[in-house]
A and B are shown apart, each in its own frame.
Chain A
């Protein structure tokens, strides 16, 4: 009996090869595969029922024969399928349009923030972060904004109800204060984050915005180090041929202070109607200076041993200048017609 079965199986194999030769389409191929290997009705599968009829000694032998036949069938079918695939490649039209592949967007603020952070990480700076609700002391007093000094008016502040000494930080400088209080020089950090100023939203003002500030404190740091560092950073951000202009400025926490302009990357000062520089050739980009001795002292650093520089810039301003965003409110409306354009 086992021999009959063996013969039957050989016939099945031969028939399979003939049939494979005649296949024209994937559909026919699928039918063929089902006819031989389908779980319930497949020719080879149904031979399993014969197993019961065999004497115990023949059972494993038949099992082996059947298995190798199945394997043979699989191989031949796979081979045939790949042949068929090659034949049918011609049949698709690759010029059909791609369909929507669902890619979202990173917010422009994040895009800019990360690009700036990466420049400074490359320059060996660390990133320091801190709370958005701050003590008046960290946000103002320790930064040399004297109590009852008009300098405090320049940064219109939100205060927290029932917490007289707490406010929404108006800059990320309090992060630097915290860092200096807790770490010994050398200090080399940037502090990115949200800041708050009491402005009615309009095209150029928003009450919540983002800043990145930097701080370096070490022995022997001078004003020229600040200029060198900012030149390297701003060239990385705006292009290698960017020029810098330093102008005297005033911040309570730096002395000397400098406003920094970059040469207009759009027109180079040649277009009197330039969208961003209005023909002046310069763009105000950041504020900076040597850390005020009072601030160092307040944070437990001896200003006669150490000196340092600090700088800060607004991410929203970069969005306006570099990415041409015409209204800051767009950044916070999250209209996908806006957000989808970036990231």
Chain B
């Protein structure tokens, strides 16, 4: 809302410069967003919180400045009711008394509609509004001055002899002042003449009922409409007007009739004569009930932690328009009708401390102690992942949680999409079903920026629909593309990521954390991974995620053609399966190493070899490892040559050469039998 500082002075006589005024307003909760100068006048753009409709006017702001500094003089608004001719006009009937609890108005004849005076135009423009004609401008001036919306009809456009405030009928149509045709339903409240709706209550008038240059007789409406009814209608119609803005926050029901008088004053002032006052209206079927809040005298101190004298509390509340009745240990506080935000004793304490000054609050520390300790296993493990992988060159990324439909379709089934009802745009229309999309976008951007080494990770949530349920999964996703070690004077060729380097970094970490992983080819993931490296990772038989190389059709979507290796894992499962290890005494006896070099059919994966070894593994085989792979010259094309080391050791004694040889030969024979290896 705009506050014209010159106009404000008509209501409160103050000597603050604009900077001090800004500070003063801030100290009582009115934030000045912008200080503007318009035609030599200082104007504040202020932000009014939704609980304070009584601040949405110059007088409201003046009243508040006065309570902060009661020594300033606040203009008293005097109204007097001019005599009316009390001729016959139409009748007013309120059919929905909760929707419209008060309806005041006046009929004026002989009104000369025309261009506003320069003074009025300048005022209207300083409020950020456009001058229309003198009568419309006055309705805006009244709103900006006293904070109550009024609506002015061209009397001669009203058909018949009755105005009804009623619910719209289903599919009733109304063409509004701005030319838009709106469809109404029974939840909407309208002002209607004998023929049709002439206004949507509290929102906007009908196209033809408004004041124009030809108008001579007018009907001025000053009503009170139910805030939530106005809000529902205005929201549904997509029409936010100055009027609906105020009504939905809560207008002062006790003020409607006074507003009529104040409007007549302004019209007289602007026209230079008093039009004929034909008839006044004031239907008030649901009377305002005075709100009384009980405030224990010691509660302000209890709730703020500082001593505020009874006298001070009393004075502050009275300066804000509250009426206090002293009842020994408590006050019975009557709330003024314009304070729709006050209904409990905490509210009153806020009023007291707000004016007394937040700067007077004490600084104390609560003695509160909690009686249990959390372990934060997942948080701890995530930090461990973070510190490990950043130490070996990975960069943490954070992406939006939104995907396009296309992104989601790359990594999962459409039936599991969690869609937004009101996305910002089609690029952000569903909740992500994987962390891959973000990471692949980030990789592409950085390749474009000529980064040669792009290792990334993100931890975050992915979202899935499962029937009528929504599932959130905590995931961690890692990726690598390009170099692991850049070429430099020390290592002239550098080291480039491939599947095995990537896999070794991730599995090495998981192993150290005591997580036992299994790898198996998985058709499902070939949706986005290359056929030859599409693996499911399982832990204790439970799906934990995948590892592989992104296939080129998916890379194309992200405008990248450099290989990217990725791994995505379930954080909850990792946290559950990590193990703390106990100390084990190491074996003090010497190991006996045996080598084995053999040819094997290519169709056998290394996994078959290691599983066969595990199957027949003698107790004294401590471990075994792959030492080399050879293919090419000297090896038949359907075979591959493998070189392995086996380490034998007994827990209690040194094994003899013969014993080791025997164990080893037995094992090798099994490999020959089961896998058809040929020893070299």
Chain A residues with CB under 8 Å of chain B are 96-97, 99-100, 102-107, 109-110, 114, 124, 126-127, 131-133, 147-151, 153-154, 158-163, 166, 168, 186, 188, 194, 196, 198-200, 206-208, 216, 218, 221-225, 227-229, 231-232, 245-250, 252, 255-259, 290, 292-293, 307, 331-337, 339-340, 343
In the complex, what residues of B have CB within 8 A of residue A256's CB? 346, 349-350, 353-354
* A–B pairs, 16, beta carbons within 8 Å: A100-B486, A104-B455, A126-B370, A153-B50, A160-B418, A186-B369, A222-B303, A222-B305, A224-B304, A224-B362, A248-B28, A248-B358, A250-B29, A332-B398, A334-B438, A335-B446
Q: A162-B419, A339-B397 are in contact. Are A150 and B231 (CB under 8 A)?
A: yes
In the complex, what residues of A have CB within 8 A of residue B419's CB? 160-162
Query: Is B451 close to A, CB under 8 A?
Result: yes
B354 and A131 form a contact (CB under 8 A): no
Chain B contact residues, majority secondary structure: mixed
Q: A106-B390, A255-B350, A335-B446 are in contact. Are A163 and B49 (CB under 8 A)?
A: no
Q: A166 vs B347: C-alpha distance in the bound complex, in angstroms?
A: 31
Query: Is B164 close to A, CB under 8 A?
Result: no
In the complex, what residues of B have CB within 8 A of residue A97's CB? 489
Contact stretch, chosen from B100-108, B399-407, B650-658: B399-407
Q: A86 vs B389: C-alpha distance in the bound complex, in angstroms?
A: 37
In the complex, what residues of B have CB within 8 A of residue A105's CB? 390, 395-396
In the complex, what residues of B have CB within 8 A of residue A290's CB? 303, 346
Beyond A158-B421, A166-B470, A250-B51, list 5 extra A-B contacts (CB 8 Å): A126-B370, A147-B228, A154-B50, A292-B346, A335-B449
A-B contact count (CB 8 A): 233
> Least Cβ distance of A192 to chain B in Å?
10
In the complex, what residues of A have CB within 8 A of residue B78's CB? none
Query: Is B526 close to A, CB under 8 A?
Result: no
Q: How many residues of chain B get a CB closer than 8 Å to chain A's CBs? A: 90
Q: A150-B50, A248-B28, A307-B303 are in contact. Are A334 and B399 (CB under 8 A)?
A: yes
Q: A71 vs B231: C-alpha distance in the bound complex, in angstroms?
A: 94
Q: A99-B489, A216-B368 are in contact. Are A163 and B231 (CB under 8 A)?
A: no
Q: A163-B470, A256-B349 are in contact. Are A102 and B396 (CB under 8 A)?
A: no
Query: Is B363 close to A, CB under 8 A?
Result: yes
Q: In the complex, what residue of chain A is closest to B392 when comparing beta carbons?
A: A102
In the complex, what residues of B have CB within 8 A of residue A259's CB? 31
Chain B residues with CB under 8 Å of chain A are 26-29, 31, 49-52, 227-228, 231-232, 245, 248-249, 302-306, 344, 346-347, 349-350, 353-354, 358-359, 361-366, 368-371, 374, 376, 379, 383, 386, 389-402, 418-424, 428, 431, 438, 442, 445-446, 449, 451, 453-456, 460-461, 463, 470, 472, 484-486, 488-491
Q: A200 vs B453: C-alpha distance in the bound complex, in angstroms?
A: 32
In the complex, what residues of A have CB within 8 A of residue B365's CB? 225, 228-229, 232
Q: A255 vs B376: C-alpha distance in the bound complex, in angstroms?
A: 32
Q: A99-B490, A159-B420 are in contact. Are A343 and B396 (CB under 8 A)?
A: yes
Pick the contact of A133 from B227, B368, B472 — CB < 8 Å?
B472
In the complex, what residues of A have CB within 8 A of residue B228's CB? 147-149
Q: A162-B419, A247-B26 are in contact. Are A336 and B424 (CB under 8 A)?
A: no
In the complex, what residues of A have CB within 8 A of residue B393's CB? 102-104
Pick the contact of B461 from A114, A132, A188, A307 — CB < 8 Å?
A132
Count chain B CB atoms within 10 A of each CB in A107, A153, A154, A232 and give the residue with the most: A107
Q: In the complex, what residue of chain A is closest to B455 when comparing beta carbons?
A: A104
Q: In the complex, what residue of chain A is closest to B27 when comparing beta carbons?
A: A247
Q: A333 vs B398: C-alpha distance in the bound complex, in angstroms?
A: 8
Q: A97 vs B358: C-alpha distance in the bound complex, in angstroms?
A: 58
In the complex, what residues of A have CB within 8 A of residue B31's CB? 247, 259
Q: In the complex, what residue of chain A is closest to B244 when comparing beta carbons?
A: A150
In the complex, what residues of A have CB within 8 A of residue B248's CB? 150
Pick the contact of B361 from A103, A227, A249 — CB < 8 Å?
A227
Q: A225 vs B363: C-alpha distance in the bound complex, in angstroms?
A: 6
A102 and B453 form a contact (CB under 8 A): yes
B486 and A248 form a contact (CB under 8 A): no
Pick the contact of A293 from B346, B358, B369, B489 — CB < 8 Å?
B346
A225 and B354 form a contact (CB under 8 A): no
Count chain A CB atoms within 10 A of each CB in B353, B361, B456 and give the residue with the most: B361
Pick the contact of A207 from B50, B232, B371, B424 — CB < 8 Å?
B424
In the complex, what residues of A have CB within 8 A of residue B227's CB? 148-149
A104 and B361 form a contact (CB under 8 A): no
A223 and B363 form a contact (CB under 8 A): no
> Least Cβ distance of B351 to chain A in Å?
9
Q: A133-B472, A255-B350, A336-B446 are in contact. Are A246 and B397 (CB under 8 A)?
A: no
Q: In the complex, what residue of chain B is closest to A217 when comparing beta carbons?
A: B368
Count chain B CB atoms within 10 A of each CB in A198, A223, A258 and give the residue with the most: A223
B386 and A221 form a contact (CB under 8 A): no
B359 and A228 form a contact (CB under 8 A): no
> Least Cβ distance of B187 to chain A in Å?
11
Q: A250 vs B376: C-alpha distance in the bound complex, in angstroms?
A: 34
In the complex, what residues of A have CB within 8 A of residue B451's CB? 336
In the complex, what residues of B have CB within 8 A of residue A249's CB? 29, 49
B442 and A160 form a contact (CB under 8 A): no
Q: A104 vs B402: C-alpha distance in the bound complex, in angstroms?
A: 25
A127 and B490 form a contact (CB under 8 A): no
> Least Cβ distance of B322 to chain A in Å?
16
